[in-house]
Structure 1
Amino acid sequence: MGLLTLKEDRPTPKSVYNWRVYTCATVASFAACLIGYESAFFGTTLALPSFTKEFDFETYDSNSLALLKQNIVSVYQAGAFFGSLAAYATSYYLGRRFSLIFFNVIFAIGCIMQLACTGDKGLGLIIGGRVLGGFGVGGCSNMTPIYISELSPPAVRGRLVGLYELGWQMGGLVGFWINYGVNTTLEPSHSQWLIPFAVQLIPSGMLFIGLIFIPESPRWLLSKGRREQALKILCWIRQLEPDHPYLLEELSYIDHDLESYQREIGSGFWKPFKTLKDSNVRWRFILGGLLFVFQNGSGINAINYYSPTVFKSIGIQGTNTAFLTTGIFGVVKTTLTFVWLLWLIDHLGRRTLLIAGSIGGSLCMWFIGAYIKISKPEDTQANDKLSSAGIAAIFFFYLWTAFYTPSWNGTPWVVNSEMFNQNTRSLGQASASANNWFWNFIIARFTEQMFNSMGYGVYFFFASLMIISSFFVILCVPETKSIPLECMDRLFAVKPVWRAHGVLMEELAQEEVIRSADSGERKSAEEDALQVDGGDTKGSSV
């Protein structure tokens, strides 16, 4: 198979893989740019000398300062938790596109509040602005994967939802480097630390402009009975005529899915909650939440939010050196996200990536923790150079990044965007996003205190959770690549889990053969009928 060769669930016209579907996914992924930037820049801003001086951080003792930092960081995750739940309501009533517009506006208001903050006014505006910004981010984190997955052909769905993760990493890359840039090029001042806050409005503005031009999800429109509008958008995004067999087949899948759930559950805001009585559906909600438990249990958000603290624990000294090391971490993540997006996610599949990331990442964390326990780098002087063991620890940190990024970084979002049916997709994604932000909050709220009290034990803690997550994936997570969204119920009904994908893909292939044979028989019968009619007409004229 070539780099961009696709495994299709059924024969697909090449026109389906067109610029329109990629453009819509890219525009929606601007939401991820603002999420990634917001998650990355703030940790280093808290260490920026001009910021710490303006807000008198030197007047706090170590425990009080750790508590203050944790509170400032974690209110963002708390807001995101409630925003991700609120997105279920806006998605139901407003749709995917208008929900993104709504939450983006809330995010922008929060950014403006933060820009109005000064040392004299205290941190209140920053804290309040981060709550609103988090609320907007939480809603966007719910809506974006759903919107993209509902537009995507199955063979490139992982790649297109992966654009969301790529946007997250590109925003994060800028966020990791922004404070290194202002710290090395500008004198310490109010304007110096204000620049990183102002940059938040750039991806927000790009998202707002882009949302003016992209369409609503046709699946959502069909669920609301707006069939004519849905068909028009689906034809536009697939670049096919309304009577094309591929389009008719896709519509039949969606219609069958909607009719099934209308019959079994019914439509309405509260109706999807009834699906929780079904153990198959209930398990998917639990599975989505556990994926984010283990994603956060890898340690990634401890690094994102408190990177100077993390690198100091390894032995990195100096503000600029810590910022530089953090920036390189961002470059590694972004580069590997491209590899994950273009090849790994739709070729190796979700399960293989998650298992490899868990095992490899765990081994790296064990090494880093052991290095800190034995070498005690926190006891070194500021002008001491790293030992060879310290350099090895830095290497293993970046190796951990290489294992984590193409596995647990974005794959849980892809799986959650795929595995729910039409009636439960918004509710399921709301549950998954809320779980993500809840565990983000836990990490953000307690990381500084964990490092103060546990030291090297923090790395052993994350290493243990990563190795546990490998068994979780092997036993509980089915492969979802190339499976049509409307067939996810069938996928999760197949046991054992590790064979489900192969069994269902074989069934779909057999069904396609039967459909093709039936279509050929009908076509042959129609041709025979036409020949007979033509013969009768000729005979009567004679």
Structure 2
Amino acid sequence: MVSSKRVYNWYIALVAAMCMVLYGYDASVFNAAQGSDNWLDWFNLDTKRDTNLIGLVNTAYTIGAIVAGWFFGGPTADYFGRRVGMAVGCILTIAATFMQAFAPYHNLGCFIGGRVLIGIGQGLALTAGPIYIGEVSPPEIRGQIMTFWQMFYSVGSFIAYWIAYACNANKAKLGHWDWRMVVIFQMLVPIIILILLPFQPESPRWWIKRHNNVEEAKKALRQIRDTEEEVEFEVQTIREAIEYENEAVTGGGRSSYKALFKDPSVRKRLYLAFVLNVGQQLSGQGTLNSYSSAIYKTIWTSTETINLINALNATMGILFTLNAVWVADRFGRRWLFIVGAIGMGICMMIVPVVGMTTPDVISAKGTATKTQPVGISIVFLLFLFIFFYKPSWGATTWIWTSEVFSMNVRAQAVGMCSQMQNVANTIFQQFFPIFLAKQGLKCLFFFMATNFLLAIFVWFCIPETMKVPLEEIDTLFGGQNHVVKGEQMLHATDAHHANEKNSIDVQQRETRREIDV
């Protein structure tokens, strides 16, 4: 039977995982907004004339997220705590929501400014969130809990797309509120997170690393571990690892970006995680999430139909991500990566083949689309793509990234690696609309090739991290066992202190004898 403390452990981890709703919602809200004629009219945009400008609106978010993730997310989470990093991100998201929803008529600059600010907020939250989850979760269920990090991305998309679908169905009544309602609901989850965060413990590893406060670390662990023996063992393990990292790795106990490149094993992990996070987006999911409406317009003419497909896609995404709960800590990270990449590659090979080998139907307006059976088959294949993506490169990329770095560099590394997703998106999505306009569905062959290459990369380069304690993962990459080395250093220090104490006691006894004489 699951203990109450284990249930509470799940609860605080899921509160942190709700930060991913912000990302999923925002990634989908722009896709939904650009499908609204009222949004285009409010900002005086034309989908054909202003392709680059519309791409800039999407890129503005990623620029803010990259800057925050690379330069502010790690230091904020390290200095002020994981909870503060998440809270500040939520506050900025709420402020940015108002900027976007109430941007003046034809003032696209205000809307873009809101997109930049929301990117900064999410860059902070998406750095602190996975670190917190990894640091409070026991190693035997860490993969299962981190699965919900990706699932909440799908929850964000689910909320955004169904709201967009409902608003589009009632756009005659709502007018310009059809897109405003979609944007305003973006602040719902951040408000919930801000209410819940103050009532849950800070990361025990942060207490020891930042303040060397063992008692607060034990207090936090007692809320989420079943026995005092577990608490004492974990605190001792954390202390030993941090002792080694402070003196031998970081140098003097200060976390800095230099430490990422000082240790060869850390550098290796950083570069591998960069590839995985870039690969996650170049698999095709990042582009599909932002431009699925544009892709579906080559198949369907009805905006309502496209919004319904997007909403159903987000719904299936939640269910598909749950598959990782059962397999992440059973078959391992490598298995999920390889099977997912091969499955996605096959889907991205079949979709353009179907598109090229079936005839077009010319509408009265001269627009070329596909017949309904062909359209349904293509949509099914894109849903199948999501089936492979969500539990593998969706969930497992975050799991692997959050667990492979040692405490002294974890915040900076996770922030940088997670934002490599946005670096890839910023570069690729600038020219994808043009790529799609000129090549149609044939552009998906690019994603086919990328996925097959990713499967090969994982096979040769990525080690298995399933159920390995955070403090001992360095050994998988040719590094030292921080726990063993830290234990030796702590024992040496304790022995030194004991010798000093014995020497002082002897001196005190001799002094007392002299006084007595």
Q: TM-score range by the shorter chain?
A: 0.7 to 0.9
For residue 19 of structure 1, what is the aligned residue in structure 2? 7
Matched, 1:316 2:300: yes
Matched, 1:96 2:79: no
The answer as to whether partners of 2:92 and 2:121 remain within 8 angstroms in 1 is yes
Matched, 1:179 2:164: yes
Q: How does 1:65-84 map to 2 (within 5 A)?
A: 65-84=50-69
Matched, 1:278 2:266: no
In 1, distance between residues paired with 2:465 and 2:278?
Answer: 20
Matched, 1:464 2:449: yes
Matched, 1:237 2:214: no
**One-letter code aligned to 1:229:** E
In 2, distance between residues paired with 1:275 and 1:385?
Answer: 51
Count of residue pairs the alignment pairs up: 475
**One-letter code aligned to 2:45:** F
Residue 201 of structure 2 aligns to a residue in which SS? coil
Matched, 1:40 2:23: no
The answer as to whether partners of 1:16 and 1:238 remain within 8 angstroms in 2 is no
**1:384 offset after TM fit, Å?**
7.0
Q: How does 1:199-210 map to 2 (within 5 A)?
A: 199-210=185-196
**1:186 offset after TM fit, Å?**
3.7
**One-letter code aligned to 1:364:** C
In 2, distance between residues paired with 1:170 and 1:181?
Answer: 16
Matched, 1:228 2:212: no
Matched, 1:423 2:408: yes
In structure 2, the CA distance between the partners of 1:73 and 1:16, relative to structure 1 (3 Å rule), is: same
Between stretches 223-232 and 435-444, larger displacement belongs to 435-444
In 1, distance between residues paired with 2:80 and 2:280?
Answer: 30
In 1, distance between residues paired with 2:237 and 2:300?
Answer: 55
**1:448 offset after TM fit, Å?**
1.1
For residue 315 of structure 2, what is the aligned residue in structure 1? 331
Q: How does 1:480-491 map to 2 (within 5 A)?
A: 480-491=465-476
In 2, distance between residues paired with 1:288 and 1:267?
Answer: 26
Q: 2:358 aligns with which of 348, 361, 375?
A: 375
Q: How does 1:129-528 map to 2 (within 5 A)?
A: 129-187=114-172, 189-224=175-210, 225-241=212-228, 244=229, 246-265=230-249, 266-269=251-254, 271=256, 273-313=258-298, 315-341=299-325, 343-375=326-358, 377=360, 386=371, 388-493=373-478
The answer as to whether partners of 2:260 and 2:270 remain within 8 angstroms in 1 is no
The answer as to whether partners of 1:44 and 1:306 remain within 8 angstroms in 2 is no
**One-letter code aligned to 2:33:** T
Between stretches 266-275 and 151-160, larger displacement belongs to 266-275
Between stretches 415-424 and 162-171, larger displacement belongs to 162-171
In 2, distance between residues paired with 1:288 and 1:16?
Answer: 35
In 1, distance between residues paired with 2:361 and 2:132?
Answer: 47
In 1, distance between residues paired with 2:141 and 2:177?
Answer: 44
For residue 532 of structure 1, what is the aligned residue in structure 2? none
In 1, distance between residues paired with 2:368 and 2:170?
Answer: 23
In 1, distance between residues paired with 2:359 and 2:465?
Answer: 44
Matched, 1:29 2:14: no
The answer as to whether partners of 1:91 and 1:99 remain within 8 angstroms in 2 is yes
For residue 501 of structure 1, what is the aligned residue in structure 2? none
In 2, distance between residues paired with 1:281 and 1:16?
Answer: 37
In structure 2, the CA distance between the partners of 1:91 and 1:269, relative to structure 1 (3 Å rule), is: farther
In structure 2, the CA distance between the partners of 1:289 and 1:380, relative to structure 1 (3 Å rule), is: farther
Q: Deviations over 1:388-443 (max 9, x none)?
A: 44433222221111111111112101000000011111121122122122112223
In 1, distance between residues paired with 2:388 and 2:223?
Answer: 39
Residue 237 of structure 1 aligns to a residue in which SS? coil
In structure 2, the CA distance between the partners of 1:412 and 1:327, relative to structure 1 (3 Å rule), is: same
Q: Deviations over 1:126-149 (max 9, x none)?
A: 100010001101111111000000
For residue 517 of structure 1, what is the aligned residue in structure 2? none
The answer as to whether partners of 1:34 and 1:200 remain within 8 angstroms in 2 is yes
Q: Quick one: percent identity of the two aligned structures?
A: 29
Residue 200 of structure 1 aligns to a residue in which SS? helix
In 2, distance between residues paired with 1:387 and 1:18?
Answer: 49
**One-letter code aligned to 1:360:** G
Where structure 1 has 5 or more consecutive residues not aligned to the other structure, the ranges are: 1-12, 495-503, 509-542
In 1, distance between residues paired with 2:383 and 2:90?
Answer: 33
In 2, distance between residues paired with 1:378 and 1:204?
Answer: 45
Please tell me the root mean square deviation across aligned C-alpha atoms, in Å.
2.2
In structure 2, the CA distance between the partners of 1:261 and 1:119, relative to structure 1 (3 Å rule), is: same
For residue 127 of structure 1, what is the aligned residue in structure 2? 112
**One-letter code aligned to 2:306:** A
The answer as to whether partners of 1:299 and 1:462 remain within 8 angstroms in 2 is yes
In 2, distance between residues paired with 1:76 and 1:268?
Answer: 34
In structure 2, the CA distance between the partners of 1:378 and 1:73, relative to structure 1 (3 Å rule), is: farther
In 2, distance between residues paired with 1:204 and 1:378?
Answer: 45
In structure 2, the CA distance between the partners of 1:275 and 1:42, relative to structure 1 (3 Å rule), is: closer
In structure 2, the CA distance between the partners of 1:17 and 1:317, relative to structure 1 (3 Å rule), is: farther
In structure 2, the CA distance between the partners of 1:374 and 1:421, relative to structure 1 (3 Å rule), is: same
Q: Deviations over 1:480-510 (max 9, x none)?
A: 111100110112239xxxxxxxxx9xxx9xx
The answer as to whether partners of 1:15 and 1:238 remain within 8 angstroms in 2 is no
In 2, distance between residues paired with 1:92 and 1:164?
Answer: 20
In 1, distance between residues paired with 2:189 and 2:478?
Answer: 41
**1:456 offset after TM fit, Å?**
2.9
**1:200 offset after TM fit, Å?**
0.6
Matched, 1:49 2:32: no
Residue 117 of structure 1 aligns to a residue in which SS? coil
Where structure 2 has 5 or more consecutive residues not aligned to the other structure, the ranges are: 485-517
**1:48 offset after TM fit, Å?**
0.9
